[in-house]
Amino acid sequence: MNPTSEILERISKSSTDHKDDVFTRLYRYLLREDIYYAAYQKLYANKGAATKGVDADTADGFGDKYVKALIAELKDGTYRAKPVRRQYIKKANGKMRPLGIPSFRDKLLQEAIREILEAIYEPTFSDYSHGFRPERSCHTCMKQLKIEFTGVVWFIEGDIKGCFDNIDHEALIEILQRKIKDSKLVNLIRQFLKAGYVEDWKYNRTYSGTPQGGILSPILANIYLSELDKKVAEIKEGFDKPRSAELTEAYHEKSKEIKRLSSKLRWEKDIQRRGELIDALKACKKDLLKIPSKPQDNKRLVYVRYADDWLIGICGNKTDCEAVKAQIGAYLGDTLKLELSEEKTLVTHSSEQVRFLGYDVSVRRSQEVKGFKNGRKARSLNHRVELLVPLKEKVEKFMFAKGVVVQTADGKLKPMHRPYLLNHSDSEIVELYNAEIRGICNYYRLAVNYHTLDYFCYLMEYSCLKTLANKHKSTVAKMWDKYRHGKTWAVPYMTKAGEKHVRIVKIVDCKKGFVYDAIPHNGRFPKRRTIQERLNAHVCELCGDKNAEMYEIHHVGSLKELGNSHWETVMKQKRRKTLVVCGKCHAQIHG
């Protein structure tokens, strides 16, 4: 029997080659064991794998028996999705966001369904959609925006009121049924949508929306909002209009005059006359740089979306923008049952800044002339998209929230120590600061004012030194001398290979070693065995028993929380959050 991963690859290829394909008999793939081992492999390392939903089920206790029991329920139709446990997390603006925590069994099944849906829908999604998709991110979205939005005159900032909470279930099911002709799978997805939630020990029904925190929520939201992508593409098709001419008449006439003067200069022998022609030619070239080169009678619409955040760029007038905004608002309300926020969906001139995915976006109006190596001169910055770091609203706010700085009476920022880090080791304190520096610097790597983050790095460095000095009841100068390492300072720590040093990250390090999303595997490390391979080996990794009736996974949330008992020592030595154990050992661990 072929692995399910190979079947899903074939489904993905079929969906790529034939965008309008309809898929049937997909439910049978949920009755295969290997899809759940692959799903567990993706889920167990997450922090939420050890978090309980409405029951005590977590990633701990997974094994052959667990999988077979789940498949048996799916086969005889007795499987029922459990309601999610709702809790609230604080948003950046101070408001609370509801988060649904499903039971681990439901997470496992949702991950398996997500794999199937991704194989079907991923090839059909728009190239302008970037949220919650493989090999796409905020950076790919901003890079596309930087290229596609060149020369736009107006922005339409998109804001949908409570998008995830207001997705209409019946509309979503109808969209799914266009491509998936399998009532069992669709009904299973409907179960997850209608499962409800428990808050303060009280059960509540869900009539709309996808629970944020659920494994299926991102892919279902993308399937739903891909209809918006199609509508914008349809609007764009009727909106776009080419220029009436390649060059403006004034620019064309001035270019011809330059050519005539250049031709005369080439054959002119008289020195005085040549001087006059050179002066006239220079004056013409100077005038040419002040004339618009292309006619502004074209119309163009460009668009990018990251999850429920979207931005439209318009070449046209403000009336065109209002018409496009009205069309999208009507479509969202009538077809997708979503509401466009009138207060936040703004039409803004592109010379002004709009906030999108944490960047300030605008289109330059610059007459600055730059020279190139070939001698050509051009207004190369004019109408180019400018991405800026919002220093006060994002970076400074982050530092105040973390207690890195305080504001002095004269408005300057002063680095401070962070008392809640004092219980960590010196190397851990530096690593925590480094993680925060890398996070900010790497995210804003596309900004044209990236160099301004050098001051942020300086404040973080001296906050780190003050934290170390406070911990050791010392001073910044003494800590610098204590940890002096060449031209800078670094904290030593011991490894099996000997002493190593960790130094504070500078902005130049982020410039040199920047990676957009993930560090690719370079093949230097041996491939680790999968969960399925370890379970199929039928060996207890704790006592070595090869003849036990049952083997299952013992899972912990974090290795840092482990003590010094035998099984905890084994897990720390293996540097794994999972341990394959026999039933007897697992009972003793929990005993």
Judge whether residue 438 has pLDDT over 80. Answer: yes
Q: Give residue 162's pLDDT.
A: 84
- Please compute the mean of the pLDDT values over residues 383-394 and round it to a whole number: 93
pLDDT averaged over every residue in the chain: 89
- Sign, CA dihedral 496-497-498-500, equals negative
Q: Give residue 520's pLDDT.
A: 38
Q: Give residue 1's pLDDT.
A: 67
For 257, other C-beta atoms within 10 Å of its C-beta total 15
Q: Give residue 515's pLDDT.
A: 40
Q: Give residue 514's pLDDT.
A: 44
- Please compute the mean of the pLDDT values over residues 480-496 and round it to a whole number: 89
Q: Specify the residue for token string 């998936």.
A: 180
How many contiguous H segments (helices) and E segments (strands) does the chain have? 19, 22
- Quote the Cα angle for 212-216-217, to 5°: 35
Answer yes or no: are the C-beta atoms of 490 and 502 closer than 8 Å.
Answer: yes
pLDDT (tens digit per residue) in 242-269: 877 778 888 888 888 889 988 888 888 8
- Please compute the mean of the pLDDT values over residues 462-466 and round it to a whole number: 96
Of 39, 18, 17, the residue nearest 29 (C-alpha): 39
Q: Give residue 120's pLDDT.
A: 96
pLDDT (tens digit per residue) in 522-579: 444 456 688 999 999 999 999 999 999 899 999 998 888 888 899 999 998 888 899 9
**296 or 228: whose pLDDT is higher?**
228
Q: Give residue 405's pLDDT.
A: 95
Q: Give residue 519's pLDDT.
A: 32
pTM (2 d.p.): 0.86
pLDDT (tens digit per residue) in 273-320: 888 889 998 888 888 877 877 777 789 999 999 999 999 999 999 999
Of 3, 249, 265, 16, the residue nearest 121 (C-alpha): 16
Reported confidence tier of residue 96, pLDDT bands at 50, 70, 90: confident
Of 88, 113, 115, the residue nearest 100 (C-alpha): 88
Rounded CA-CA distance 386/364 in Å is 6
- Lowest-pLDDT choice from 18-32, 197-211, 403-417: 197-211
Judge whether residue 518 has pLDDT over 60. Answer: no
Of 275, 293, 294, the residue nearest 283 (C-alpha): 275
Q: Give residue 513's pLDDT.
A: 58
Amino acid identity of residue 370, one-letter, is K
Token representation of residue 187:
């009904």
Token representation of residue 471:
């911990």
Judge whether residue 34 has pLDDT over 80. Answer: yes
Q: Which residues pair with 168 in a beta bridge?
A: 208
Reported confidence tier of residue 45, pLDDT bands at 50, 70, 90: confident
Which runs of consecutive H residues, i.e. helices, occur in 346-444?
397-402, 426-443
Reported confidence tier of residue 335, pLDDT bands at 50, 70, 90: very high
Of 217, 98, 163, the residue nearest 339 (C-alpha): 163
**370 or 65: whose pLDDT is higher?**
65
